[in-house]
Amino acid sequence: MKCPFCGEEMESGMIITMRDIGFAWIPEGKKLPLVPLVGLKKMGGMLLGESTGFTRAKLDFNICKKCNKGISSL
Ligand SMILES: [Zn+2]
């Protein structure tokens, strides 16, 4: 998928809640890291949002790191 703003190829991944930390964007094929913030940075992920409580949901989501924008593929 191309970024509609700059035309760069977007990175595929998903958004998953990280309990009391916030939402994590995780590159496609990766799993939630055992050490949340350090592991997320190492795998090229991003931390988004704020605390959501104790349940976890996920959402497929492509990002363009150049524009700092993302698109959900619902
Ligand atoms: Zn872009």
Question: To which residue do tokens 């990766």 refer?
Answer: 30
pLDDT single digits (tens) 8-63: 999 999 998 887 778 899 999 998 888 878 898 999 998 887 665 666 777 889 99
Residues whose beta carbons lie less than 5 angstroms from ion ligand 1? 3, 5-6, 8, 64, 66-67
Its pTM stands at 0.77
CB 61 within 8 A of CB 72: yes
In angstroms, what is the span from residue 70 Cα to ligand 1's centroid? 9
**Helix, strand or coil for residue 73?**
coil
Measured from the Cβ of residue 36, the count of other Cβ atoms closer than 10 Å reads: 17
User: What pLDDT does residue 36 have?
Assistant: 77
In tens, the pLDDT along 8-21 reads: 999 999 998 887 77
Using DSSP's 3-state secondary structure scheme, residue 3 falls into: coil
Q: Compute the Cα dihedral for 36, 38, 42, 44 and give only its sign.
A: positive
> What's the gap in Å between 5 CA and the centre of ligand 1?
5
